[in-house]
Chain A
């Protein structure tokens, strides 16, 4: 496979092209002069402390939850999900 992937391939959207409107927004960023070009991500701490990590627990889904998940299968056979044909390239 080619190492250069175009936006339509990256996005899995046929015929997708970059938008002129969106490029105008990106141009503003390209021309901006932040006082520090490398984000230290030091302002919004959203990461979880190691001391605060939850335990790994296996939670059994309820019968109703399982039923709805199966109901949502786009294609189903004998209660199993049928996936599209895979072709290696």
Chain B
């Protein structure tokens, strides 16, 4: 599909549609939708902004490419004055006092925020069922999960309720729902987009990224949101990716894939067959395919969850109901903390917080936490070695098709293991794009750090090739 942003921009400029009508249409779709994608609608502000865009066009003023383009925001981003619930009881009445940097950049470019989108509570989940707003239903089959944690964002884009949405990806939370709902979703290099104003889950892998229906829209949004930010000192400098620089594949000569991802019994046979067939098609184009060795799924998932739980236990320790949040009074301060947290966190969030405190506590940290850090170093070293041999690593997004709603909550281990193909790239802090091609849950394209241009270029090549 071609750029939706450019198409709508053209329709606005040539007055084929008014921005107000466009925004109203999308708001109506969101309001009526039965996929549980909406935590709160930003209808008042959206319509006010739309009127301003229409006035500008009527006055013959030039508008920017993103001006008047309606978009969605995962409900873990601060947007001043809006409810930011993280789909949790604890923050169900919490209002953002400030706006996240990435979102502010989009607002500055004139994009119009429509909706705070349903997701797993605090990003804790891979199915968007761990939420107080009801499980998000898959865009293609409402009996199946939408994926997660950015499930509401992926479904809104897939159903055209938003032109694009901004998700968050800690261990696959953009890429996996993008795959489950057949759209594009990018986890950029760690630090390329500021995390300021994104509610922290695991700070060392948290990434801000776009979900959209075209590669070109992903490029446009990445350029707008990227850049160093004084409010997030882990941000890195990056250069703008030009449109013509990603159009043809002149650079990618060798791609690699992890043979243990496909040569095991836990992958769905159809996904495996489709993935191998895709490799063959790529080979026919004269590209060399290399088998790569990698860590087994159990090690990847366990390393990721050990570190993510440790980080989330620390990050969420601030949520005690003192300054904000749904405080439940107890006999004294400590009792108040404990009741507030016990009553307001979901079972999944509690499981992760307790696990995190367990590995960080004395007696466990050497045996588990520090060892997981050492494994992470080894995983990252492995990637460095791989990218000396290949330009791109290609992998399926998930080993299996989306589960039925209700199944993941019954079997959390199965849910954790469903992240086997996404978490490794998070630990490596590498840019990875889900494309809706190749297998029924898409493909992941991964490049070396800061090589988003190569990644988008290869995505365009795949679009033409398979």
Binding site for B on A (CB under 8 A): 5, 7-8, 10-19, 21-22, 24-26, 28-30, 32, 34-44, 46, 48, 52-54, 61, 64-65, 68-69, 71-75, 81, 83-87
Contacts and interface: CB of A to CB of B under 8 A. Distances in A.
A10 B314 CA distance: 11
A18 B325 contact: no
A72 B323 contact: yes
Nearest to A65: B97
A80 B201 CA distance: 30
Contacts of B341: 11-13
B288 to A, nearest CB: 27
A32 B357 contact: no
Contacts of B330: 84
Interface stretch (B113-121, B258-266, B301-309, B439-447): B301-309
Contact of B327 (A26, A35, A43, A74): A74
Contacts of A46: 190-191, 204, 234
Nearest to B412: A21
A38 B372 CA distance: 10
B10 interface: no
B371 A30 contact: yes
A12 B368 contact: no
Given A32-B299, A85-B332, A65 B98 contact: yes
29 contacts: A10-B357, A11-B341, A11-B354, A12-B334, A13-B345, A13-B353, A19-B354, A19-B412, A22-B305, A25-B305, A25-B416, A28-B302, A32-B371, A34-B371, A35-B378, A38-B370, A40-B377, A43-B377, A64-B80, A65-B80, A65-B97, A69-B97, A69-B323, A72-B94, A74-B323, A84-B330, A84-B332, A85-B332, A87-B334
B368 A39 contact: no
Contacts of A83: 322, 333
Interface of A is mostly: loop
Given A11-B313, A17-B354, 5 more contacts: A34-B375, A41-B373, A46-B204, A54-B233, A84-B332
A74 B338 contact: no
Contacts of B367: 29-30
B378 A84 contact: no
Given A7-B357, A11-B341, A18-B355, A29 B375 contact: yes
A85 to B, nearest CB: 5
B384 interface: yes
Contacts of A61: 97
A13 B371 CA distance: 26
B371 A84 contact: no
Given A28-B302, A29-B306, A44 B375 contact: no
B338 A12 contact: yes
Nearest to A19: B351
A85 B323 CA distance: 14
B380 interface: yes
Most chain B CB neighbours (cut-off 10 Å) among A28, A75, A85: A28
Contact of B342 (A13, A25, A39, A86): A13
A84 B326 contact: no
A83 B333 CA distance: 8
A22 B190 contact: no
Most chain A CB neighbours (cut-off 10 Å) among B98, B377, B380: B377
A39 B97 contact: no
B324 A43 contact: no
A69 B458 CA distance: 46
A7 to B, nearest CB: 5
A5 B345 contact: no
Contacts of A34: 371, 374-375, 377-378
B370 to A, nearest CB: 6
A84 B381 contact: no
A86 B332 contact: yes
B302 A39 contact: no
B416 to A, nearest CB: 7
B9 interface: no
B354 A39 contact: no
Contacts of A8: 338, 354
A37 B367 CA distance: 9
